[in-house]
């Protein structure tokens, strides 16, 4: 590489870096706009549980083994608050994200 080629290469690198910075700024602007105008809401806890059970081709009865029939009924039909153990099970075993399980009603 000659000194002239070196200088030219540095110049081109700088141009690409400037373009990259502009693209990154535009990406952030687009993400912020979409968050404001097209928010993605978390599903309800019951909705998330039902969805995961459907995805795994299982039924509410599968929850009886862990929660028992009465506790399962309270969670699924009476808006009962989840205990820390409930949250851990639903996250670790069923695969429901913590953000969904810890959201306020």
Range of the domain at 51: 45-101
- Mean pLDDT computed over every residue of the chain: 90
DSSP codes of every residue in 41-83: PPPPHHHHHHHHHHHTT--THHHHHHH-HHHHHHHHHS-PPPP
95's enclosing H/E stretch is none
For residues 55 and 34, membership in a common domain is answered with no
The pTM (predicted TM-score) of the whole model is 0.61
97's enclosing H/E stretch is none
For residues 63 and 83, membership in a common domain is answered with yes
Of residues 59 and 66, more confidently modeled: 66
For residues 49 and 97, membership in a common domain is answered with yes
For residues 58 and 73, membership in a common domain is answered with yes
CA distances from 81 to 15, 40, 68, 84, 85 (A): 56, 23, 16, 10, 11
For residues 49 and 35, membership in a common domain is answered with no
For residues 86 and 50, membership in a common domain is answered with yes
- Name which of 45, 91, 41, 47 is nearest 66 in CA terms: 91
Instruction: Decide if pLDDT at 26 tops 80.
Output: yes
For residues 55 and 25, membership in a common domain is answered with no
Instruction: Please tell me the total count of domains within the chain.
Output: 2
Contact (CB, 8 A) for 99 and 42? yes
For residues 32 and 51, membership in a common domain is answered with no
For residues 57 and 97, membership in a common domain is answered with yes
């Amino acid at each position: 590489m000659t000194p002239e080629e070196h200088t030219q290469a540095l110049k081109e690198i700088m141009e690409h870096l400037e373009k990259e910075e502009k693209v990154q700024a535009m990406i952030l602007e687009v993400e912020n706009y979409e968050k404001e105008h097209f928010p993605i809401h978390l599903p309800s806890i019951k909705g998330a549980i039902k969805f995961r059970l459907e995805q795994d081709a299982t039924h509410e009865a599968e929850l009886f083994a862990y929660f028992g029939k009465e506790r399962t009924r309270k969670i699924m039909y009476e808006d009962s608050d989840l205990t820390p153990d409930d949250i851990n099970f639903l996250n670790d075993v069923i695969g429901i994200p913590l953000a969904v399980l810890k959201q306020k009603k």
